[in-house]
């Protein structure tokens, strides 16, 4: 490339910088400020991958997504609770708790993602008896009509628990309003993903990542605005398009890789056109109906129209793993990178089944493991780079 | 008209450079260099080594159509493009030996097994990471302890008749084992052979992981020069039901650089055909 | 009753009690039935141990093949290591549950039963999703091989420390509307609730004797080892035999034998004969290691350590807390059983239970055998240990092994840890007695 | 007099402590661990007994008017002379061994010049040995191998040049001989050596005073040191030629040793050459819990040793250099070897040595913090032992992290903490007989 003119300040930069700040802040200043802004406000945290945030929102509380503590927190106490052969996210989450970084959190929801998160709910109950802790046994029986009643009932118990915590009654109307607010958020989230898939050079994956992370700590209305602003800004700038390979990233739904890993993948010549980061933002597909019984609507949405992921059972053998092929096709990807947290049973047991699917349709893939504090990016660059190389060099021009 | 391409492999142990000429028939190898990095800045070293090689070949920088880096060379400022190590080692290995189906690249800190197709495409790989047990550096440390030169290791190890088992898997703590062995009067040959066998065991399992079962497995990287390791690897694969042959090559250490230079030529041609040459400069 | 009166320590052949012979015979017969299924035309269901529906499976005349038990068998026969490597070669991660890999690897290598004949393809996978997330992935993977029908039974976890009406209704609904119809379809047998009641009545009988046996560990000396030895005692009741007269007979024999041991003041039987002195009484949490089971056990009896209660012997039901299969409420009782097994209890409940055992069985300490690849058990065990130490004032010890992956059993490490632990208990006692 | 001895056979060094029946420490000895564990144990024990003699001399001389105010100086002189005598004796052995090896087949045709060269080197070594043990002279190490070795290299090189002989030959002879000499159990009779040293020391004193002093020293020498009980511990303990009841877990010994040094100790961190242990002890010094790292050099003493080699620095120089740092860099690699590579990269990129070193020290301590945390955290008082406790930068990082995470606990660091395990062992020996 010849001497480029001094680049104009990027209009997306300040938005991304704000998200980066939120991301870096392990004291959750934004949520703390929200809470302090009005008396009686409460914050309810939740773990990946799905929590009915509408219920928290409808009670006037702030849902706060916790994704571990990333790479910068030195874990000192967490190791007292977890052996070396258990993934990192529960220990760094505990570290956040023990060091008082979550002392403003009034409730904590642990969805049934895996046994580690499940058991963390018990640990939380023992260690933080003042916090409203609830384990969400999200149904795994997807046979029509089988789990609705159960789940609506569980949601009702949750609604009562949250209502008590907030000191309000969560009315159907409040719930309907919240559903509408989240519907809007889900739409914009999908728009961002679609935009990136269409023009990935315009939307660096680390930027999109930070935007989605912001959704876990900001009030939903603010997040929706932020995404809109970013889309407008991104569309107004022209970025250099590189000779990169388009890939789908899979397996990153719970413990998060360090930001550097996402950047390393892109630097090594890959455009990420789809991923499963922060699934909670878009687990439900399409709008949840606002009319009618809100709990039933939420339940039906989850049971019949939600994204597939390793932590959900697929009742139909023939359909098992098809979602990864669909993601490749839908987004025009040339390959798949499986990245999974070390010791993550859901992601690692899912992987061979997905690989088999991809083999059948000749989509190339690679896979590796990471931890939220993985330091060496060299092996990642090496593998992602070789992957991109081989697709690039062997594709017919 | 002949086209010149260069490959520069910036490793953790050594910097390797090669220069190739293309046009009519097989590519011709014009010049090469290999330098231990030791405590120096690898990028500066790469630039110096590259210029020295060009001087040796009587070529100016602008005469080279495509300069490809590999290894840790992504950030070199004077290159045209970068290829990742597995891509280049696969290609380099095919160049050195056309019957290659598996590549074992063992450098200063890493070990990788790569399955390649006859065109040099990477089909599968397995690598060690995070832990340096069984790498070149590990062997180097031991040799230093034993006071044995890099080039003596191979022949000495092959003299070992009663190899001593190395129990520690850690590259660092293995030294304690070795000190103990020395003081128990075990010969350097048997110690080295034992280490080679334990490294070979690990490498063999990498190889198994990529399921190569026939054809040539070419060792690339610096340790391919270690005949003792090659022999040990043959030995530990001996019991397997495989029809493959493990080989080293005198130019194995250049495999990455060679692959880079060759891919550079390929890319250059492709870009020229698409009229996109300017984009790559 | 034959008594291992003269067991010249070590080599001489171990004299087997009647109950042992009985169990051996039952297992052999069951494997023979399984491996001959292709000829006999009997249909086979595969399912998991915790909260299994063995009585229901039998109502339909199905044979019950439990992949966990096969993995244990392969572990004890030192085959699992190869199977695990095979599964890893086929793309499975080093990091995941080794039961799954031992099973998949075994399938890849002919899926041989201990009798040397191949296990049959299952006709139905009954996915009792109870107490462990990995079960779900496991059967998705197995289903991928066999392409056979799979029935999901989602058993809610006791997240809030209790079972609720809602949870029970959910299970019963699934049983009625999904599990039973599917099993009828697969087996061609009509569901007969009275047959189910009958089987459950038989179950309850065995359960009474089983509890009686476990509780004898309250005595000093304890006539049983409630971990190593009791792993055998749980066999029939946790697996394909619950509800059969065979199982009842087994527990009757066992009870009589233990009664006799107690009368004679004997300790537990071990592979090397009767255990002599009982210096330490322990409660153990977590499954044992199978690949070096004997070696592991020896580290205990050689030091005079007897296990008086364990949580692993509760994965197939907490009968000692009073649960019995109830012929009067068959489906509800199945639901309660499934929800009530140990792995389906939340962490505070597990802590409470171990604390209770520590106190009621007058244990000197808690030992946790943490399984590297089992998140269901292991995630949180360090916290459990601390909590028990705090509540009981008794020392805990933590060792790390694996179920069926021999690579993760480091005998030297485990021994070092155990020895230090026993010496520590000794020291404590000395100081206490000096004071 | 009854002596109770603890021997700690570490991966790098072997330590011994001699205690009297009142629990007072009489002496300490240290040597480098070698492949022959018996010898290492015997040498360290002998060193400790020698040290014990000096304690007895001191006790004996306390009332000696002739030495009023000069006891310390006198004993120091005596010790120097004693070490010198010992050194000369070992030199003789080394030379004799060397000559024997020089006559070996490998050196056929070169025996004569080799023998001459050896003679010359040892002549010079003896001559300069006076200087090595002169008052105030700083010795590189206390181990014969290190002192003799470094001087042998220096002198040998010159002698060979002179004689036109290959130094490699001489070196080879040395390498062969030193191992043999080092692994030879120490010669028994110490008394002669003491007397020779005494003679030499008294040479400088007046006659009258000398008589009195000699009398008292001889009286102290005559006190029999009876080995009442020996306890072995440490990494290599199972290979010690001791009956089982004389072996104690290193964990227990460290715990008890730390308790003896600082009675208020509740948490002990020991960072040795090959392992790091965190131990929780109760108010009586009994271990309640512990954690150790697995066989990985990251986070233990060898990590620093490796880094020192990598930077071509002495081990004892690392700490002081890291202390100069103003900002600690974050070291990303876990593996020691990768950390070495990262260090090179960082230096190449222009980072300052001291900052990189500070980062490395932080890394090792962070790993220790994680082990502490797994053992149950830090309780007041906290005692840091093992070889790495001598490293001030490690101590600084540790102190910082302890303060940040556990508040104002007392932190004990003792320069003699390397003897902690042996001290605990000695106390166990004492209790074995007394309790
Ligand atoms: N002649 C030789 N015999 C044995 N080993 C050698 C020889 N030459 C170099 N090596 C080893 O090769 C390693 C460097 O290999 P290389 O493939 O260049 O690694 P990297 O690419 O990581 O720099 C060094 O660790 C060195 O010890
Ligand atoms: N003077 C010193 N300065 C800094 N570190 C030291 C010093 N002496 C010893 N060490 C460290 O202590 C370690 C040996 O500790 P030690 O407790 O003797 O181990 P072990 O009991 O395993 O033999 C060495 O690896 C080294 O890192
Ligand atoms: S990373 Fe995987 S194993 Fe760990 S908590 Fe998340 S889903 Fe569970
Ligand atoms: S075991 Fe040794 S080589 Fe492996 S990571 Fe640890 S220090 Fe590095
Ligand atoms: S994770 Fe544990 S409970 Fe689950 S299948 Fe594996 S061993 Fe069994």
Q: C127 in a domain, yes or no?
A: yes
Nearest CA in chain A to C98: A345
What pLDDT shows up at residue C196? 98
How far apart are the CA of D380 and the nearest CA of chain A, in angstroms?
Answer: 17
E strands, chain B, are 3-10, 14-22, 28-36, 64-71, 81-82, 100-106, 111-116, 122-127, 214-220, 243-247
Task: Quote the tokens at residue B164.
Answer: 């001593």
Work out the number of other CB atoms within 10 angstroms of the CB of residue C413: 15
Task: Quote the tokens at residue A80.
Answer: 């007292």
Q: Is there an atom of ligand 5 within 6 Å of C374 CB?
A: yes
Average pLDDT, chain A: 95
Query: How would you classify residue A39: left for phi > 0, otherwise alpha for psi between -120 and 50, otherwise beta?
Result: beta
Task: Say if residue D33's pLDDT is above 80.
Answer: no
| Distance of CA A312 from the midpoint of ligand 3 (Å) | 13
What pLDDT shows up at residue A1? 40
Residue A265 pairs with which residues in a beta bridge? none
- Fold classification of D263-418 (topology level): Nucleotidyltransferase; domain 5 (3.30.420)
Q: Is there an atom of ligand 2 within 6 Å of D34 CB?
A: no
Task: Quote the tokens at residue B89.
Answer: 């080692």
Indicate which atom in ligand 2 lies nearest the CA of residue D304: 27
pLDDT band at residue D105 using 50, 70 and 90 as cut-offs? low
**Burial readout D75-100 (b: 16 or more C-beta within 10 A, e: otherwise):** bebbbbbbbbbbbbbbbebbbebbbe
Distance CA B36, CA B45 (A): 9
* ipTM value for the complex: 0.84
Interface of D with C (CB under 8 A): 248-249, 251-252, 282, 284, 286-290, 294, 374, 376, 435
Q: Is there an atom of ligand 3 within 6 Å of A166 CB?
A: no
What pLDDT shows up at residue C3? 40
| Distance of CA C374 from the midpoint of ligand 5 (Å) | 5
Task: Quote the tokens at residue D24.
Answer: 């007072």
Task: Quote the tokens at residue C238.
Answer: 């946790």
Terminal C-alpha separation, chain B: 20
Distance CA B271, CA B266 (A): 9
Task: Quote the tokens at residue C273.
Answer: 């004969």
Task: Say if residue C337's pLDDT is above 60.
Answer: yes
**Could you report the per-residue pLDDT of A188-223, keeping only the tens digit for each?**
999 999 999 999 999 999 999 999 999 999 999 999
What pLDDT shows up at residue D247? 86
| Domain extent for C151 | 19-188
pLDDT band at residue C12 using 50, 70 and 90 as cut-offs? very low
For residues C106 and C112, is the Cβ–Cβ distance under 8 A? yes
For residues A382 and A353, is the Cβ–Cβ distance under 8 A? no
What pLDDT shows up at residue C1? 38
Of A192-206, C317-331, D99-113, D245-259, the range with the lowest mean pLDDT is D99-113
Mean pLDDT of C4-26: 66
Of A40-54, A313-327, B257-271, D65-79, the range with the lowest mean pLDDT is D65-79
Share of chain A above pLDDT 70, in %: 97
Number of H helices, E strands in chain B: 8, 10
A 366-395: CB under 8 A from D = 375-376
Nearest to A345 among C97, C129, C400 (CB): C97
Closest CA to C235 of C341, C152, C313, C127: C313
CB–CB contact C382 A80 (8 Å): yes
Nearest to D373 among A76, A375, A376 (CB): A76
Query: Please, is D420 exposed, middle or buried when counting C-beta atoms within 10 Å of its C-beta (0-12, 13-18, 19+)?
Result: buried
Task: Quote the tokens at residue A45.
Answer: 């945290």
Nearest to D274 among B12, B171, B176 (CB): B176
Please, which residues have CB within 8 angstroms of residue D388's CB and are 6 or more apart in sequence? D271, D272, D300, D301, D304, D364, D394
Average pLDDT per 10 consecutive residues for chain B, totaling 281 residues: 91 93 90 85 92 95 94 89 94 94 88 90 83 76 74 87 78 75 79 88 84 86 89 81 81 96 91 68 38
DSSP letter, residue B135: S
CA distances from C417 to A239, B67, C229, D250, D290 (A): 60, 58, 22, 11, 9
Please, which residues have CB within 8 angstroms of residue B279's CB and are 6 or more apart in sequence? A1, B271
How far apart are the CA of C154 and the nearest CA of chain A, in angstroms?
Answer: 6
Is residue B211 less than 8 Å (CB to CB) from chain C? yes
Is residue C423 less than 8 Å (CB to CB) from chain D? yes
**Could you report the per-residue pLDDT of A304-325, keeping only the tens digit for each?**
999 999 999 999 999 999 999 9
pLDDT band at residue D188 using 50, 70 and 90 as cut-offs? low
For residues C319 and A108, is the Cβ–Cβ distance under 8 A? no
Q: Is there an atom of ligand 2 within 6 Å of D421 CB?
A: no
What pLDDT shows up at residue B131? 77
For residues C269 and C3, is the Cβ–Cβ distance under 8 A? no
Give the residue with greater pLDDT, D205 vs B222.
B222
Task: Say if residue D141's pLDDT is above 90.
Answer: no
Task: Say if residue C280's pLDDT is above 80.
Answer: yes
Nearest to A376 among D333, D366, D376 (CB): D333
Residue ranges, comma separated, of all CATH 3.30.420.40 domains in chain B are 3-89+254-280, 99-248
- Fold classification of B3-89+254-280 (topology level): Nucleotidyltransferase; domain 5 (3.30.420)
Closest CA to A112 of A168, A71, A150: A150
User: Sheet containing C365-371: which strands, arranged edge to edge?
Assistant: C305-310, C280-285, C365-371, C396-401
Of A197-211, C230-244, D75-89, D287-301, the range with the lowest mean pLDDT is D287-301
Interface of A with B (CB under 8 A): 1, 267-268, 376, 378-379, 381-383, 385-386, 388-390, 393-394, 397
Is residue B127 less than 8 Å (CB to CB) from chain A? yes
Report the residue of C302, C420, C425 to disrupt the D interface, i.e. the one with the largest count of D CBs within 10 Å: C420
pLDDT band at residue C6 using 50, 70 and 90 as cut-offs? very low
What pLDDT shows up at residue B183? 65
For residues C283 and C358, is the Cβ–Cβ distance under 8 A? yes
Q: Is there an atom of ligand 5 within 6 Å of C99 CB?
A: yes
CB–CB contact C431 D376 (8 Å): no
For residues B5 and B270, is the Cβ–Cβ distance under 8 A? no
pLDDT band at residue C241 using 50, 70 and 90 as cut-offs? very high
| Distance of CA D10 from the midpoint of ligand 2 (Å) | 10
What pLDDT shows up at residue D206? 62
| Distance of CA D274 from the midpoint of ligand 2 (Å) | 9
CB–CB contact D337 B172 (8 Å): yes
Is residue B130 less than 8 Å (CB to CB) from chain A? yes
Best residue for ligand 2 mutational test, from D10, D12, D308, D310 (most atoms within 8 Å of Cβ): D12
Q: Is there an atom of ligand 3 within 6 Å of A344 CB?
A: yes
pLDDT band at residue D328 using 50, 70 and 90 as cut-offs? confident
What pLDDT shows up at residue D69? 78
CB–CB contact D344 B39 (8 Å): yes
pLDDT band at residue C8 using 50, 70 and 90 as cut-offs? very low
Ordered by start, the domain boundaries in chain D are 263-418
Question: Subunits that touch chain C (at least 3 Cβ pairs < 8 angstroms)?
Answer: A, B, D
Residue written as token pair 């550097």: A260
Chain D residues with CB-CB distance to B132 below 8 A? 335-338
How many Cβ contacts (< 8 angstroms) between chains A and D?
A: 27
Nearest CA in chain B to A396: B270
Q: How many alpha carbons fall within 13 Å on the CB side of residue C174?
A: 29
Query: Please, is B113 exposed, middle or buried when counting C-beta atoms within 10 Å of its C-beta (0-12, 13-18, 19+)?
Result: buried
Distance CA C106, CA C415 (A): 30
Nearest to D373 among A77, A375, A376 (CB): A77
Work out the number of other CB atoms within 10 angstroms of the CB of residue A5: 5
Which long-range CB contacts under 8 A does C175-181 form with residues at least 24 apart? Answer: C175/C56, C175/C331, C175/C334, C175/C335, C176/C331, C177/A145, C177/A146, C178/A141, C178/A143, C178/A146, C178/C151, C178/C152, C178/C153, C179/C53, C179/C56, C179/C126, C179/C151, C179/C153, C180/C56
Mean pLDDT of D95-121: 81
Number of structural domains in chain C: 1
Work out the number of other CB atoms within 10 angstroms of the CB of residue C412: 8
Number of H helices, E strands in chain C: 18, 10
Task: Quote the tokens at residue D179.
Answer: 């191992």
What pLDDT shows up at residue D34? 67
Please, which residues have CB within 8 angstroms of residue D389's CB and are 6 or more apart in sequence? D271, D395, D413, D414, D417, D418
Chain C residues with CB-CB distance to A119 below 8 A? 347, 375-376, 379-380
Nearest CA in chain A to B123: A390
The full length of chain B comes to 281
Please, which residues have CB within 8 angstroms of residue C290's CB and are 6 or more apart in sequence? C71, C72, C75, C76, C80, C403, C404
**Could you report the per-residue pLDDT of C110-146, keeping only the tens digit for each?**
999 999 999 999 999 999 999 999 999 999 999 999 9
Is residue D6 less than 8 Å (CB to CB) from chain B? no
Mean pLDDT of C86-95: 91
How far apart are the CA of D342 and the nearest CA of chain A, in angstroms?
Answer: 10
Task: Quote the tokens at residue D290.
Answer: 């512990």
pLDDT band at residue D158 using 50, 70 and 90 as cut-offs? confident
Nearest to A83 among C150, C178, C378 (CB): C378
Query: Please, is D188 exposed, middle or buried when counting C-beta atoms within 10 Å of its C-beta (0-12, 13-18, 19+)?
Result: exposed
Distance CA B251, CA D290 (A): 52
The full length of chain C comes to 435
Cα dihedral D110, D113, D115, D118 sign: negative
Minimal-distance CA residue to ligand 3 atom 2: A344
DSSP letter, residue B64: E
pLDDT band at residue D106 using 50, 70 and 90 as cut-offs? low
Distance CA A348, CA C91 (A): 10
What pLDDT shows up at residue D374? 85
pLDDT band at residue D249 using 50, 70 and 90 as cut-offs? confident
| Distance of CA D305 from the midpoint of ligand 4 (Å) | 14
Chain C residues with CB-CB distance to D374 below 8 A? 382
Distance CA C21, CA C232 (A): 12
Is residue A236 less than 8 Å (CB to CB) from chain D? no
Task: Quote the tokens at residue C403.
Answer: 């179920």
Q: Is there an atom of ligand 4 within 6 Å of B172 CB?
A: yes
Task: Quote the tokens at residue C68.
Answer: 């966990």
Task: Say if residue D422's pLDDT is above 50.
Answer: yes
CA distances from A380 to A367, A386, A388, B260, C321 (A): 10, 10, 12, 19, 51
Distance CA A315, CA B16 (A): 54
Give the residue with greater pLDDT, B188 vs C348.
C348
**Could you report the per-residue pLDDT of A272-305, keeping only the tens digit for each?**
999 999 999 999 999 999 999 999 999 999 999 9
CATH number at residue C23: 3.40.50.11890
E strands, B37-157, are 64-71, 81-82, 100-106, 111-116, 122-127
What pLDDT shows up at residue C127? 96
Q: Nearest-5° angle of CA A238, CA A244, CA A247?
A: 110
Is residue B209 less than 8 Å (CB to CB) from chain C? yes
pLDDT band at residue C34 using 50, 70 and 90 as cut-offs? very high
- Fold classification of B99-248 (topology level): Nucleotidyltransferase; domain 5 (3.30.420)
User: Of the bound ligands, which one is closest to the alpha carbon of residue A110?
Assistant: 3
């Amino acid at each position: 490339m010849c001497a480029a003119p001094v680049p104009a300040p990027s209009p997306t930069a300040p938005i991304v910088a704000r998200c980066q700040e939120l991301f870096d802040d392990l004291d959750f200043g934004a949520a703390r400020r929200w809470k302090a802004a009005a008396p009686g406000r409460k914050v309810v945290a939740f773990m990946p991958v799905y929590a009915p945030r509408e219920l928290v929102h409808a009670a006037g509380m702030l849902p706060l997504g916790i994704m571990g503590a990333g790479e910068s927190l030195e874990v000192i106490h967490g190791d007292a609770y977890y052996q070396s052969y258990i993934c990192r996210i529960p220990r760094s989450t505990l570290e956040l708790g023990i060091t008082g970084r979550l002392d403003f959190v009034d409730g904590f929801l642990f969805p049934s993602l895996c046994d580690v998160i499940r058991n963390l709910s018990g640990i939380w109950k023992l260690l933080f008896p003042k916090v409203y802790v609830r384990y969400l046994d999200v149904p795994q029986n997807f046979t029509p009509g089988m789990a609705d009643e159960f789940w609506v009932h569980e949601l009702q118990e949750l609604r009562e628990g949250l209502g008590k915590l907030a000191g309000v009654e969560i009315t159907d109307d409040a719930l309907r309003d919240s559903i509408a607010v989240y519907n809007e958020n889900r739409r914009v989230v999908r728009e961002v993903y679609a935009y990136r898939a269409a023009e990935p050079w315009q939307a660096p994956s680390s930027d999109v990542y930070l935007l989605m992370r912001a959704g876990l700590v900001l009030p939903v209305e603010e997040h929706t605005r932020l995404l809109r602003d970013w889309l407008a800004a991104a569309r107004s700038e022209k970025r250099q398009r590189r000779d990169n390979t388009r890939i789908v990233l899979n397996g990153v739904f719970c413990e998060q890789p360090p930001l550097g890993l996402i950047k390393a993948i892109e630097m090594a010549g890959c455009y990420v056109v789809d991923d499963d980061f922060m699934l909670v933002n878009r687990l439900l597909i399409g709008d949840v109906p606002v009319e009618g019984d809100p709990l039933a609507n939420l339940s039906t949405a989850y049971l019949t129209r939600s994204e597939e992921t390793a932590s959900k059972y697929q009742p139909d053998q023939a359909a098992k793993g098809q979602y990864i092929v669909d993601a490749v096709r839908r987004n025009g990807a040339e390959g798949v990178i499986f990245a999974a947290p070390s010791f993550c049973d859901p992601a690692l047991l899912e992987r061979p089944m997905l690989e088999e699917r991809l083999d059948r349709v000749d989509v190339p893939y690679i896979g590796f493991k990471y931890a939220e504090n993985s330091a060496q990016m060299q092996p990642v660059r090496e593998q992602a780079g070789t992957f991109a190389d081989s697709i690039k060099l062997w594709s017919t021009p | 008209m002949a086209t010149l391409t260069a490959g520069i492999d910036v490793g953790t142990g050594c910097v390797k450079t090669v220069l190739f000429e293309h046009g009519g028939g097989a590519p011709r190898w014009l010049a090469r260099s290999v330098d231990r990095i030791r405590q120096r800045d690898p990028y500066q070293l790469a630039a110096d080594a590259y210029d020295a090689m060009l001087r040796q070949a009587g070529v100016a920088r602008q005469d080279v159509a495509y300069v490809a880096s590999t290894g840790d060379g992504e950030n070199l400022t004077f290159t045209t493009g970068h290829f990742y190590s597995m891509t280049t080692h696969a290609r380099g290995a095919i160049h050195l030996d056309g019957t290659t189906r598996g590549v074992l690249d063992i450098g200063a800190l890493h070990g990788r097994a790569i399955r390649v197709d006859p065109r040099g495409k990477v089909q599968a790989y397995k690598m060690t990471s995070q832990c340096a047990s069984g790498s070149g550096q590990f062997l180097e440390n031991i040799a230093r302890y034993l006071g044995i030169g890099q080039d003596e290791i191979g022949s000495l190890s092959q003299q070992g008749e009663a190899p001593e088992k190395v129990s520690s898997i850690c590259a660092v703590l293995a030294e304690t084992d070795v000190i103990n062995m020395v003081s128990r009067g075990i010969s350097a040959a048997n110690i080295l052979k034992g280490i080679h066998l334990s490294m070979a065991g690990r490498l063999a399992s990498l190889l198994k992981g990529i399921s190569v079962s026939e054809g040539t497995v070419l060792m690339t990287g610096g340790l391919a020069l270690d005949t003792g390791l090659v022999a040990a690897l043959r030995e530990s694969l001996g019991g397997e039901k495989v029809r493959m042959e493990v080989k080293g090559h005198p130019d194995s250490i250049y495999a990455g650089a060679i692959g880079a230079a060759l891919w550079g030529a390929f890319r250059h041609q492709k870009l020229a055909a698409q009229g996109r040459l300017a984009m790559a400069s | 009753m034959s008594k291992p009166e003269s067991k010249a320590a070590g080599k001489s052949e171990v004299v087997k009690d009647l109950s042992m012979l009985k169990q051996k015979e039952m297992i052999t017969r069951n494997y023979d039935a399984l491996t001959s299924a292709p000829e006999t035309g009997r249909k086979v269901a595969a399912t998991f141990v915790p909260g299994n529906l063995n009585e229901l499976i039998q109502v339909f005349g199905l044979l019950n093949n439990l992949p966990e038990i096969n993995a244990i068998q392969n572990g004890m026969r030192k085959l699992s290591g190869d199977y695990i490597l095979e599964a890893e070669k086929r793309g499975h991660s080093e990091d995941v549950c080794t039961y799954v890999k031992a099973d998949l690897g075994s399938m890849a290598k002919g899926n041989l039963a201990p009798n040397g004949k191949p296990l049959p393809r299952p006709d139905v996978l009954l996915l009792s999703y109870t107490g462990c997330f990995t079960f779900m992935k496991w059967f998705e993977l197995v289903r991928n091989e066999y392409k056979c029908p799979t029935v999901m039974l989602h058993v809610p976890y006791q997240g809030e420390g209790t079972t609720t009406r809602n949870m029970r209704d959910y299970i019963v609904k699934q049983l009625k509307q999904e599990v039973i119809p599917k099993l009828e379809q697969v087996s061609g047998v009509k569901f007969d609730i009275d047959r189910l009641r009958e089987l459950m009545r038989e179950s309850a009988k065995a359960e009474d004797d089983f509890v009686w046996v476990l509780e004898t560990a309250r005595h000093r000396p304890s006539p049983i080892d409630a971990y190593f030895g009791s792993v055998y005692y749980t066999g029939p009741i946790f697996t394909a035999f619950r509800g059969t007269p065979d199982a009842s007979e087994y527990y009757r024999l066992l009870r009589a034998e233990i009664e006799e041991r107690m009368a004679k003041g004997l300790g537990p039987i071990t592979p090397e004969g009767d255990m002599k002195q009982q210096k330490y009484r322990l409660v153990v949490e977590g499954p044992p290691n199978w690949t070096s089971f004997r070696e592991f056990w020896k580290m205990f009896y050689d030091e005079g350590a007897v296990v008086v209660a364990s949580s692993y012997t509760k994965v197939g039901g907490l009968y000692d807390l009073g649960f019995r299969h109830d012929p009067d409420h068959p489906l509800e009782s199945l639901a309660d059983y499934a929800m009530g097994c140990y792995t389906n209890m939340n962490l505070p409940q597990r802590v409470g239970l171990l604390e209770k055992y520590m106190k009621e069985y007058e244990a000197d300490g808690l030992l946790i055998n943490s399984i590297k690849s089992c998140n269901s058990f292991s995630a949180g065990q360090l916290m459990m240990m601390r909590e028990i130490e705090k509540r009981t004032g008794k020392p805990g010890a933590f060792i790390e092994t694996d179920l069926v992956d021999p690579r993760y059993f480091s005998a030297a490490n485990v021994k070092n840890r155990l020895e230090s632990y026993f010496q520590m208990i000794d020291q404590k006692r000395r100081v206490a007695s000096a004071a | 007099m009854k002596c109770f001895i603890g021997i700690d056979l570490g991966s790098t060094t072997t330590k011994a402590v001699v205690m009297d029946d009142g629990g007072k420490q009489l002496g300490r000895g240290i040597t480098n661990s070698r492949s022959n564990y018996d010898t290492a144990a015997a040498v360290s024990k002998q060193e400790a007994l020698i040290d014990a003699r000096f304690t007895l001399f001191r006790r004996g001389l306390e009332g000696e008017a002739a030495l009023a105010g000069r006891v310390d100086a006198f004993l120091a002189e005596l010790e120097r002379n004693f070490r010198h005598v010992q050194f000369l004796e070992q030199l003789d052995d080394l030379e004799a061994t060397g000559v024997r090896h020089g006559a070996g087949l490998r050196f056929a045709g070169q025996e004569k010049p080799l023998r001459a060269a050896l003679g010359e080197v040892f002549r010079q070594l003896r001559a300069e040995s006076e200087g090595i043990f002169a008052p105030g002279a700083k010795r590189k190490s206390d181990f014969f191998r290190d002192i003799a070795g470094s001087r042998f290299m220096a002198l040998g090189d010159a002698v060979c040049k002179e004689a036109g002989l290959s130094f490699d030959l001489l070196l080879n002879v040395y390498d062969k001989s030193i191992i043999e000499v080092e692994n030879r159990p120490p010669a028994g009779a110490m008394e002669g050596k003491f007397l020779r040293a005494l003679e030499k020391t008294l040479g400088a004193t007046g006659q009258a005073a000398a008589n009195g002093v000699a009398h008292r020293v001889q009286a102290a020498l005559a006190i029999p040191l009876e080995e009442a009980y020996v306890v072995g511990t440490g990494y290599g303990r199972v290979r010690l030629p001791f009956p089982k009841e004389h072996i104690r877990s290193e964990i227990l010994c460290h715990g008890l040793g730390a308790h003896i040094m600082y009675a208020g100790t509740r948490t002990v961190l020991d960072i040795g050459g090959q392992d790091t242990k965190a131990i929780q002890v109760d108010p009586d010094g009994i271990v309640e819990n512990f954690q150790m790292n697995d066989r990985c050099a990251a986070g233990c003493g060898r990590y620093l040793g490796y880094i020192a080699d990598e930077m071509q620095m002495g081990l004892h120089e690392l700490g002081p250099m890291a202390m100069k740092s103003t900002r600690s860099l974050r070291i990303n690699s876990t593996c020691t070897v990768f950390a070495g590579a990262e260090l090179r990269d960082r230096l190449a990129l222009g980072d300052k040595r001291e900052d990189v070193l500070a980062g490395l020290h932080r890394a090792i301590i962070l790993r220790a913090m994680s082990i502490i945390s797994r053992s149950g955290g830090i309780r007041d008082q906290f005692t840091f032992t093992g070889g790495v406790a001598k490293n001030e930068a490690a101590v600084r990082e540790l102190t910082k992290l302890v303060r940040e995470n556990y508040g104002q606990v007392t932190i004990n660091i003792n320069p003699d903490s390397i003897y902690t395990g042996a001290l605990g062992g000695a106390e166990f020996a004492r209790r074995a007989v007394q309790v």
